Every structure is written in structure tokens, then in C-alpha cells.
RNA sequence: GGCCCUAUCGUCUAGUGGUUAGGACACAUGGUUUUCAUCCAUGCAACCGGAGUUCGAUUCUCCGUAGGGCUACCA
């Protein structure tokens, strides 16, 4: 059984790029029947915040990505939060082995020393490699320094290998020259494991078989692979995903506008749409289908169709896709999604209707909506307020023939005992026929006179929902107004 | 600077040693619609450059170029 993990660090709100990584891990799990693990990498004490971890859960929940094992869910390989694993001594235990086997060593160099070496390397146009000053310390020297309160780290000694092959599930084998890689920190001076160290220990101990992550981790991979070997664990298969870029083709970041998943939720995107859209950023099916439900995505997804090149995040297409999803929703489901985005003014309008009419109203304007809050621009037509209506009507000019059409309609429509769409439509048809089949000459004045607006959803729908009472109020007003 | 990855319409992408290089978004035009929107049709638009391999390269190789990533006691 394969095991994959999504390992975000709670140092900010869940990012769209991070979410994509989670999604691909999730899709991999669904497709290849793997266990999906959520691990919180919070070893950066300064930047990690509980509220960010909460934001991650919130985003995962919204997207419907549910972990099989994780901090909240538990599991046999826990704990799943790195700070808790530190307390359990998990990293220390492995570190002792490395120290014992002389694969790692204490380093007492100061920031100042290290910065100097780095500057020197830069000056000489050479890659920075740690001088290994501390590798050659005698046992006595080390003991003495360890007893003092002098700051120390533990570093990994990079083996002198010319060629280290990293196999990647997405691209060809990648060849690294280890002589160009500097010894790096395993244990930070604050006593916490570094990322490159903790990630290896955790992936190893949690039995991770496949690591699916962003391409920005490629250069970390040789270090991690070396650590796997030094610890005697079998490394996972790595798969490096292309990056998501902003419009200017640089790494997607805050300056590109909305990048937090919650931003998209708040703007009125449907999680289904984002899910579908993100899946298509770096993966493509064998045919030209673009709209997938979650189930078919889970079965169609495959690692061998992941692309290698970075992708620009195109909000315009996401917006289009959101519209597609909105239009595919059933009336009740659409109403439920839309309601939280309706503003107070429009809420007041809807309050004058029954629950089932509200659902019909919302459904009647679905073609005009790309983002959920767009609904607010289309509800005015259903305003039953007489004051607001009469004021709007007074701003229009009506010709005599237009007045006649409106009056005709008002007379005929009340012949129906019920205001169903069919009945209203039938009345309309009669009037259109009377006017030489010229629909424009009928629909436009009726909309202006009865609604007080020039645009809006289907007039037949509006009239049937407005109902008899409101319409008779308006009709009698128009009767007086037109003859005045 | 060093190391690594990548390169097809503006964007997301499909694809092949010989194709009219396909689809989607966007854009333009036309149609349907009472209007807006939706929907439908059509159009516009791409193989980064140079060598090499080959009868033939967008496709394979190399070299450039461009973009991206990493180069931390951040993850």
C-alpha cells in the first residue's frame, strides 16, 4: 500500500500553490489507492502560528480533501505535528546514531564565521561549501565546547560522491555532483531539527512511499537522499510538480493579488470549480474534456500525464469555470451557495418572498453569475417595494403605443386565476400577436412599466414571482399615471 | 556567480520523425434571446534561435537564449 503526505508549514494562510500540491497528493491517493497523510511542519517556531494551522484545516475541509492520518485524525505513525515529535525525541534518536557513526558532527562556528566564508565564496565566484573547520575538532575540544554554553549545531557530512542520481517520477533522472553541496545543518542551535533533516526522518518513519511536491524542492532532494542512505532507510519515489506562476511568470506570491485559498472562498468561487481548475494546472487527461466531477477526476488522474513546465495561474479561466459550475447546480443547491453572499439590501427584497420563491428567483438569474456575489446585481427586479417601483417608473418616458401595450397586458393578465410562468407567457404571446409579432415592442415597455428597469432576468419569470397582489398595485398605479 | 529544472497560440494544454499542429479560456464576428447574460457557429492566434542526426525535424542530440527554482540555523 502506497503512502503519500501533504506537509505544509503553518507560517501563513493556505496558499493556492500549496493547495495544488495537496490536491495532487490527494488525487494520487484516490487513483492509486494510497493512504493520504497530513503532517504539520512547524519547526520554525518564530513563524508558525496555530491560527495558520487552523486556516489549513479550513481550506482542506472546504476542498473536501480529507486526510487518512494527521494531527486531528490520529494514526499509527503519529504524532503528526513536528513540534510534538521533537518532544518525543524522535529526531534526537536518529541524530545520535548519525553522530555515533560519524556521519554528522557538531559545529560551533558563529554566524559571523559562516557569513565570512559565504562572502569569500561569492567573491571568488565559487559555490559556497562549508570549510569543515569543526569536522576536525578533537574529542576533547568538542567535549569542552559542549560543556560551555557556546552555541552549537549538528551538521551532516556530505559524502564525497561525484554523481548522485535522483530519480523523479515526472522528469528524467537528475544528476548531482555532491562535491558541490555544502555540509548542512541537521539540528539548529535552538535545538530543533532543520527542515531537511526532519522531513527525512518523518518520511522514513511514516513509511512514505511517494513524495509529491513542488519543483522548488528539487535542489533539496540530493541532501535528503543522502540522509536516507546515511540513516539506512529506503528513500521514497520523488515526483516534482511544475510551479504555479503569477501573471508576470514569477513564483505566485501575495503581490499577485489573491493567493490565499480563503480569498477565493470569500470571492464566491465554488470549491468544485477550484478543485477542477487546479487539477488541470499541470495535469491533463487523454481527451479534451475540461469539466470533471471529483469522482471521475480520481479515476482519470495519472502521474504519467503530469507536465513538466510551469503554469501561469489564469484567473479568467477559473472564473469561466466557476460560471460553468454555478450553472450546473440544482436550484436548491444554488440558493444555498449564493445566500451567504447576498447583501442586506437584496436580503430585504428576498425577505418579502416565500422560501420556495426565493429559490426560484435565484435560479432565474444563474446565467448572469460567474462569481457568487454577482447575484447582487440582479435581484433589484424582484423588489416588491411600491415606493421604489413608482420612482423608477417616473424616470421613463412612454409613448402612447407603449402605454397601450402595458395597459393591454395589465387587463389580460388578470384573467388568469394563477400567475404561473405558462399563464404569463400565454398573455405575452397574445399581445405580441396583436402587435404584428414584434416582441421588442411588447417586452421592453412592459419591463419598463412593470419593473422600472430596462434590463434583468426573463420578464415572464419576474412577473410570475412578483405575484398578483404586487402586480395589481402596480397596474392601478400605471392606469392613473398614464392617463394623467 | 554556481547548481538544477523547463521551453507548442496572450493563457492552460494535446500531439507527432512525414498532421490542414488539436482542444479550452480570452478576444473578434455572426446567430438564438425582449435586454444583459447564457447558449450555438465561425474567425484570429503557437512549435524560442542556431547547428547536427535524418530522405525528412516542432518532435532526437548539442550549443545558445529566455523563464523559473535553489544557493539559510525558512519550509
- Convert the pLDDT of each residue in A211-224 to its tens digit: 999 999 999 999 99
Look at residue A400 in the predicted model and tell me its pLDDT.
87
- Convert the pLDDT of each residue in A122-151 to its tens digit: 888 888 999 998 998 899 999 999 999 999
On whether the CB atoms of residues A370 and A322 are closer than 8 A, the answer is: yes
On whether the CB atoms of residues A155 and A184 are closer than 8 A, the answer is: yes
Look at residue A249 in the predicted model and tell me its pLDDT.
85
Span of A13-17, A97-101, A258-262 with lowest mean pLDDT: A258-262
String of b and e for A15-40 (b: at least 16 CB within 10 Å)?
A: bbbbbbbbbbbbbbbbeeebbbbbbb
Q: Using the CB atom, is residue A249 less than 7 Å from strand B?
A: yes
Within A 368-407, residues with CB less than 7 Å from strand B: 368
Nearest nucleic acid nucleotide to A180, CA to C1' distance: B3
Q: Using the CB atom, is residue A133 less than 7 Å from strand B?
A: no
- Convert the pLDDT of each residue in A420-450 to its tens digit: 888 888 888 888 888 888 888 889 999 999 9
Look at residue A205 in the predicted model and tell me its pLDDT.
97
- Convert the pLDDT of each residue in A276-305 to its tens digit: 999 999 999 999 999 999 999 999 999 999
Nearest nucleic acid nucleotide to A444, CA to C1' distance: B34
Look at residue A251 in the predicted model and tell me its pLDDT.
83
Span of A107-121, A180-194, A234-248, A319-333 with lowest mean pLDDT: A107-121
Nearest nucleic acid nucleotide to A199, CA to C1' distance: B75
Choose the catalytic residue: A45, A93, A254, A317. Answer: A254
Q: Using the CB atom, is residue A125 less than 7 Å from strand B?
A: yes
Would residue A392 show up in a list of annotated catalytic residues for this protein?
no
Nearest nucleic acid nucleotide to A40, CA to C1' distance: B75
On whether the CB atoms of residues A104 and A184 are closer than 8 A, the answer is: no
Sheet harboring A3-6: ordered strands across?
A35-38, A3-6, A210-214, A237-241
Give the residue nearest to nucleotide B69 (CA to C1'): A216
Distance of C1' in B14 from CA in A287, Å: 8
Please give the radius of gyration of chain A, using alpha carbons only, rounded to the nearest integer. Answer: 33
Ranges of H-type helices in A32-89? 50-63, 82-87
- CB contact set of A481 (below 8 Å; sequence gap of 6+): A390, A393, A394
Look at residue A76 in the predicted model and tell me its pLDDT.
95
Burial (CB count <10 Å: 0-12, 13-18, 19+), residue A435 = middle
Burial (CB count <10 Å: 0-12, 13-18, 19+), residue A245 = middle
Round the average pLDDT of chain A to a whole number and report it: 93
Distance of C1' in B75 from CA in A71, Å: 18
Within A 322-361, residues with CB less than 7 Å from strand B: 323-324, 327
Closest CA to A153 of A142, A141, A144, A161: A142
Q: pLDDT over 70 for what percent of chain A? A: 100
Give the residue nearest to nucleotide B13 (CA to C1'): A284
On whether the CB atoms of residues A252 and A21 are closer than 8 A, the answer is: no
- Convert the pLDDT of each residue in A46-88 to its tens digit: 899 999 999 999 999 999 999 999 999 999 997 999 999 999 9
Within A 269-328, residues with CB less than 7 Å from strand B: 280-282, 284, 286, 288, 290, 305, 307-312, 314, 316-317, 320, 323-324, 327
- Convert the pLDDT of each residue in A260-278 to its tens digit: 999 999 999 999 999 999 9
Nearest nucleic acid nucleotide to A367, CA to C1' distance: B38
Look at residue A399 in the predicted model and tell me its pLDDT.
87
Nearest nucleic acid nucleotide to A174, CA to C1' distance: B4
Give the residue nearest to nucleotide B67 (CA to C1'): A249
Within A 412-471, residues with CB less than 7 Å from strand B: 439-440, 443-444, 447, 454-460
- Convert the pLDDT of each residue in A23-35 to its tens digit: 999 999 999 999 9
Q: Flag whether pLDDT at A254 surpasses 80.
A: no
Q: How far apart are CA A105 and CA A405, in angstroms?
A: 93
Within A 160-179, residues with CB less than 7 Å from strand B: 171-172, 174-177
Distance of C1' in B18 from CA in A21, Å: 40
pLDDT: which is higher, A397 or A23: A23
| Alpha-carbon distances of A473 from A60, A394, A466, rounded to whole Å | 51, 16, 11
Q: Flag whether pLDDT at A401 surpasses 90.
A: no
Q: Using the CB atom, is residue A122 less than 7 Å from strand B?
A: yes
B chain positions with any atom within 7 Å of a protein CB: 1-8, 10-15, 22-26, 33-39, 67-75
Within A 43-62, residues with CB less than 7 Å from strand B: 43-44, 47
Give the residue nearest to nucleotide B37 (CA to C1'): A368
Q: How far apart are CA A98 and CA A231, in angstroms?
A: 7
Strand partners, A106: A154
Distance of C1' in B53 from CA in A175, Å: 25
Q: How far apart are CA A181 and CA A183, in angstroms?
A: 7
**How crowded is the C-beta side of A50, counted as CA atoms within 13 Å?**
0
Distance of C1' in B17 from CA in A239, Å: 29
Nearest nucleic acid nucleotide to A122, CA to C1' distance: B1
Look at residue A62 in the predicted model and tell me its pLDDT.
97
ipTM comes to 0.95
Amino acid at each position: 500500500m502506497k503512502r503519500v503526505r501533504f506537509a505544509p508549514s503553518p507560517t501563513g494562510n493556505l496558499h493556492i500553490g500549496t493547495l495544488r500540491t495537496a490536491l495532487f497528493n490527494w488525487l494520487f491517493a484516490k487513483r492509486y489507492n494510497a493512504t493520504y497523510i497530513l503532517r504539520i511542519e512547524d519547526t520554525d517556531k518564530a513563524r508558525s502560528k496555530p491560527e495558520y494551522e487552523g486556516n489549513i484545516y479550513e481550506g482542506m475541509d472546504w476542498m473536501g480533501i480529507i486526510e487518512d492520518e494527521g494531527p486531528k485524525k490520529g494514526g499509527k505513525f503519529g504524532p503528526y505535528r513536528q513540534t510534538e515529535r521533537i518532544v518525543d525525541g524522535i529526531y534526537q534518536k536518529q541524530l545520535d546514531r548519525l553522530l555515533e557513526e560519524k556521519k554528522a558532527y557538531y559545529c560551533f562556528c558563529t554566524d559571523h564565521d559562516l557569513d565570512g566564508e559565504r562572502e569569500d565564496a561569492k567573491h571568488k565566484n565559487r559555490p559556497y561549501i562549508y570549510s569543515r573547520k569543526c569536522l576536525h575538532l578533537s574529542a576533547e575540544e568538542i567535549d569542552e565546547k559542549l560543556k560551555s554554553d557556546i552555541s552549537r549545531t549538528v551538521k551532516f557530512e556530505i559524502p564525497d560522491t561525484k554523481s548522485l542520481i535522483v530519480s523523479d517520477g515526472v522528469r528524467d533522472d537528475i544528476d548531482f555532483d555532491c562535491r558541490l553541496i555544502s555540509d548542512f545543518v541537521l539540528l539548529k542551535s535552538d535545538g530543533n531539527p532543520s527542515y531537511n533533516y526532519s522531513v527525512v526522518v518523518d518520511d522514513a518513519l511514516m513509511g512514505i512511499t511517494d513524495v509529491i511536491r513542488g519543483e522548488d524542492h528539487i535542489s533539496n532532494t540530493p541532501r535528503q537522499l543522502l540522509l536516507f542512505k546515511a540513516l539506512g532507510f529506503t528513500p521514497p519515489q520523488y515526483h516534482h510538480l511544475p510551479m504555479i506562476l503569477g501573471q508576470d511568470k514569477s513564483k505566485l506570491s501575495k503581490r499577485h493579488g489573491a493567493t490565499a485559498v480563503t480569498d477565493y472562498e470569500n470571492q464566491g468561487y465554488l470549491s468544485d470549480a477550484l478543485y477542477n481548475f487546479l487539477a488541470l494546472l499541470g495535469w491533463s487527461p487523454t481527451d479534451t474534456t475540461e469539466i470533471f466531477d471529483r469522482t471521475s477526476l480520481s479515476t482519470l488522474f495519472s502521474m504519467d500525464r503530469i507536465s513538466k513546465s510551469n503554469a501561469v495561474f489564469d484567473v479568467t479561466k477559473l472564473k469561466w469555470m466557476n460560471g460553468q459550475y454555478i450553472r450546473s447546480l440544482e436550484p436548491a443547491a444554488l440558493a444555498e451557495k449564493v445566500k451567504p453572499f447576498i447583501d442586506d439590501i437584496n436580503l430585504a427584497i428576498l425577505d418579502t418572498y416565500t422560501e420556495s420563491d426565493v429559490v426560484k428567483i435565484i435560479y432565474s438569474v444563474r446565467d448572469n453569475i460567474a462569481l457568487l456575489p454577482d447575484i447582487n446585481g440582479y435581484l433589484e427586479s424582484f423588489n416588491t417595494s411600491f415606493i421604489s417601483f413608482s420612482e423608477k417608473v417616473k424616470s421613463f418616458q412612454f409613448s402612447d403605443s407603449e402605454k397601450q401595450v402595458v395597459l393591454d397586458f395589465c387587463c389580460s393578465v388578470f384573467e388568469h386565476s394563477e400567475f404561473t410562468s405558462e399563464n404569463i407567457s400565454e398573455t405575452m404571446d397574445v399581445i405580441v400577436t396583436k402587435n404584428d409579432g414584434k416582441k421588442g415592442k411588447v417586452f421592453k415597455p412592459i419591463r419598463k412599466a412593470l419593473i422600472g428597469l430596462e434590463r434583468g432576468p426573463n420578464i415572464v419569470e419576474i412577473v410570475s414571482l412578483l405575484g398578483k397582489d404586487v402586480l395589481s398595485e402596480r397596474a392601478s398605479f400605471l392606469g392613473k399615471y398614464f392617463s394623467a
